[in-house]
Structure 1
Amino acid sequence: MPKFTYTAIDASGKQKTGKIVANSEDEANSKLSASGLMVSKIAVAGSGGGPAKKTKAPSRSSGGAKSKKKASSFTIGKAINTEGLTIFTRQLATLLQAGLPLLRSLEVMIRQEKNAAFRDILSQIADNVRSGNNLSDGLAQHPKIFEPIYINMIRAGEAGGVLDVVLSRLAKFMEKNLKTKKKVKSAMVYPVVVVCVAIIIVALLLIFIVPRFQKIFSDMLGGAELPKLTQIVINLSNLITPKSFGSAGIMIGVIIALIIGFRFLLKSGPGSLAKDWLALKTPKIGDLASKAAVSRFTRTFGTLLSSGVPILQALQITRDIIGNAILSKALDRVHDRVRDGEPLAAPLEQQRVFPTMVTSMIDVGEETGELPEMLNRIADNYDEDVDNAVNSITSIIEPIMIVMLAVIVGTIVIALFLPIIEIIKQLTN
């Protein structure tokens, strides 16, 4: 029998590494899950942490092995978007609450699923369940679609025998997140449209209008020196006209290289910290970023706790998906202190990244034994604050974008009219 090395998280939130003997990677995963461990990495011993090689499994787990092998064909991109996954979760919860068994519910979902890629994945998950494995084990084989929060909530629901309730909570959680994302995206439509219109107008002016004026100036002024503003506009026009595509291509290449380098810098540790610190400190934007992060933290953490996920494991999952490096580091420190036996509210307050009202309400929730309900209540309040902040920023951005467009176009027009004034003077003389 081959040996597998693994890295996993136990029920107390501590990371464990070790070795296990099994016929296949699927069997090793099943054994570790049965012992209460959440596997984050597994590989054949001696392979240096690379992907585990498949070996023949016994007949009972052959369905799981087949499912794993099929899943590898869908590793590029996502087979379904967030909205589709939210609808699937809500429908599966409804079927289970109606009294249908899990396998029967999955078969119904497979028949009505129109997305071929996701239908194949659901078939693999159903095969996994049919062979005697848990639903969470099948979901864990598709990490690009089902995030850790999704898998862990399902696992907690299976352990507590309340899978339908947990799926309903998960669907509600995903629906609220999706609603917030859609509001933010809709608020950004207007600024993006204005920027695109401004770029098109400026490009048309520089490519078609400015060269004609340049010819007029050359004929009428006889090579006389043009005003500096006019000369700058003409130089820009010469840069992007078809005659200068070579130099323009070099400049575009440099700009693209700078953008790619900047993105890599932002994804690095220091760059990510700097970006998130700036996002929290920028006027108006910082208020929105802070409220959105608090809403995401309390909603995710509260949903995990109410679904039966242990507090340390819930803190780790929330830390990984909160989307802000500053808050993620703060939650890392909070996790260590809670693991040492401290209550949650005190270390949260000492990090100075969460509002006092939030830590006070969490303190009350701990004292009354209603922490999950209190966290979800905080999330509801902050969702409303996020909506108001988005509306406020949108109302400020709209006039700013209009003024910027007017200034850019107005500058080009003024630059073209300055030499015309000189021509009129010459004609008058």
Structure 2
Amino acid sequence: MPTFEYQAYDRAGQMVRSASAADSMRQLRRELIERGLFVTDVREIRPRSPRRRWLSPRIRLADLSLLMRQLAILVNSGMALEEALRLVSDQTEQPVQKQALESWREGVASGYSFSASLKKSSFAISERVVAAIGVAEETGHLHKVLTRVADELEEGNDNRQTLMKGLIYPAVMIVVAIAVIGVMVGYVVPQVAKVFVNARQELPLLTRATIALSDFLRVFGLPLLGLVAASVTGFWLSLRNPARRLRWHRFLLSAPLIGNWLLLAALADWCRSMGTLLHSGVPVLSALSISAAGVSNRHLRQRLEAVGEKVRQGNSLFQSLKAEPLMPGFMLHMVSSGESSSELDTMLIRVSDYYSTRLKNTVDTLLKLLEPALVVFMGLVVLLIVGAVLVPIVKMNQLI
């Protein structure tokens, strides 16, 4: 659904400048007139191109969460939004945060709503954040929604940190292990091998295999490293193709262990986003569209968009989710209970909390098991290399 920026005057003659989503410009004009506004200008807000969004300055999720929480406290205390933005801007020491706050404050001071100021800003802000704040401004519960938005951003950042810890830490350990083994095989073993060659004695199988591996790495090591780097670069460049990226994202969700982590993190973020939007007063169809757009995995996003289309056709959210094989049973049960009790937003937040906790516990448990396993593996490999060097030396000493 497109978003339009409009300028109008109310019955008191005050100018109103804001933004709103509608099926068409004509429909928005009709809705504004029914609200008693005299419309002077309506124009569609064009979405940023991918390149421009990539170049747009960004605020870290943790920092944005803190800013929203500070604004919620100040607004709840009775302070005007413009003054709250000015105060938070004066207190922050981060240049990016200060620039963002000043751009938002200038928009509010010019007559725009806070949500419209966020959307107009050059800083990339999630559409679900803008939508939730926009509805909150209309209902008069801005401080409550700002607090919920801060909670959502904080939880999303925690899930990302947990996921990155589970993926990066083992990768670093493996790279270090390969580097240590490579130095021993590529440098230490060749130095010792010269002694064995001069001795002209038959070497044990383990020693011959280690020397052969060392010779192979010295000759083909750099070309192999270049080939691996070129292959990885070519693979990532190929993911620019939407069809290939969709297949890759589908494979990631089906991959052992990692697929479960990615699904838990994505569903936790989606459920919290849906719960926050619904609690803020955003209609279900709009909430489904906005929350699905925030899912990074293309395959899961496609399935959630299909869920939104089924709901648009008249099906319940539970029935629409149940038709998708990816959706876990626990989430389906909670959604069904939420629809039956008219507490869907609360149930979705609980699902998000459960999946976030489950993801953190799973990653922590795996890392506790993986670290000693990698240490034992490195120890065994080093032991084999040392054995390949020491066994022939001991035999040579026995012959002397």
Residue 57 of structure 2 is matched in structure 1 by 78
| Residue 377 (structure 2) aligned to one of 399, 404, 413 | 404
Residue identity opposite 2:267 in structure 1: V
3-state DSSP of counterpart to 1:256: helix
| Residue 145 (structure 2) aligned to one of 139, 163, 166 | 166
| Residue 326 (structure 2) aligned to one of 353, 372, 379 | 353
Residue 232 of structure 1 is matched in structure 2 by 212
Closer/same/farther in 2, CA of residues 267 and 408 from structure 1, 3 Å limit: farther
| Residue 210 (structure 1) aligned to one of 168, 171, 189 | 189
Q: What value does the CA root-mean-square deviation take over the aligned residues?
A: 3.6
| Residue 2 (structure 2) aligned to one of 2, 5, 8 | 8
Q: Is the 8 A contact 1:79 1:118 kept in 2?
A: no
Closer/same/farther in 2, CA of residues 421 and 269 from structure 1, 3 Å limit: farther
Q: Is the 8 A contact 1:95 1:105 kept in 2?
A: yes
Residue 157 of structure 1 is matched in structure 2 by 136
Residue 102 of structure 1 is matched in structure 2 by 81
Shift of 1:213: 1.0
Number of matched residues? 373
Residue 264 of structure 2 is matched in structure 1 by 291
Closer/same/farther in 2, CA of residues 221 and 109 from structure 1, 3 Å limit: same
Q: Is the 8 A contact 2:104 2:121 kept in 1?
A: no
1:129 aligns with 2:98: no
Shift of 1:266: 4.3
Closer/same/farther in 2, CA of residues 375 and 84 from structure 1, 3 Å limit: same
Closer/same/farther in 2, CA of residues 219 and 368 from structure 1, 3 Å limit: same
Shift of 1:77: 6.1
3-state DSSP of counterpart to 1:352: coil
Shift of 1:185: 4.1
Shift of 1:114: 0.9
Distance 2:96 2:289 in 1: 31
Closer/same/farther in 2, CA of residues 252 and 117 from structure 1, 3 Å limit: same
Closer/same/farther in 2, CA of residues 339 and 143 from structure 1, 3 Å limit: farther
Distance 2:176 2:107 in 1: 52
Gaps of 5+ in 1: 1-6, 21-27, 34-38, 43-48, 52-71, 240-246
Q: Is the 8 A contact 2:103 2:121 kept in 1?
A: no
1:336 aligns with 2:309: yes
Shift of 1:93: 1.0
Q: Is the 8 A contact 2:56 2:122 kept in 1?
A: no
Shift of 1:96: 0.6
3-state DSSP of counterpart to 1:99: coil
Residue 361 of structure 2 is matched in structure 1 by 388
| Residue 95 (structure 2) aligned to one of 106, 113, 116 | 116
Q: Is the 8 A contact 1:233 1:412 kept in 2?
A: no
3-state DSSP of counterpart to 1:41: coil
Closer/same/farther in 2, CA of residues 116 and 357 from structure 1, 3 Å limit: closer
Closer/same/farther in 2, CA of residues 80 and 331 from structure 1, 3 Å limit: closer
TM-score (norm 2): 0.80
Residue identity opposite 2:230 in structure 1: A
The share of aligned pairs that are identical, in percent, is 26
Residues 155-199 of structure 1: per-residue CA shift (max 9 Å, x gap): 121222222221111011112222333334445575355334324
Gaps of 5+ in 2: 5-18, 29-38
Closer/same/farther in 2, CA of residues 142 and 421 from structure 1, 3 Å limit: farther
Residues 224-247 of structure 1: per-residue CA shift (max 9 Å, x gap): 9986512333224524xxxxxxx7
Closer/same/farther in 2, CA of residues 234 and 346 from structure 1, 3 Å limit: same
3-state DSSP of counterpart to 2:47: strand
Residue 64 of structure 1 is matched in structure 2 by none
Shift of 1:419: 5.0
Shift of 1:79: 4.8
Residue identity opposite 2:281 in structure 1: G
Residue identity opposite 1:41 in structure 2: P
3-state DSSP of counterpart to 1:31: strand
Residue 31 of structure 1 is matched in structure 2 by 42
Residue 47 of structure 2 is matched in structure 1 by 41
Distance 1:374 1:113 in 2: 36
Residues 10-34 of structure 1: per-residue CA shift (max 9 Å, x gap): 999887699x9xxxxxxx9x7347x
Residues 100-129 of structure 1: per-residue CA shift (max 9 Å, x gap): 001101110121121123312322221121
1:364 aligns with 2:337: yes
Q: Is the 8 A contact 1:110 1:122 kept in 2?
A: yes
Distance 2:56 2:223 in 1: 32
1:316 aligns with 2:289: yes
TM-score (norm 1): 0.75
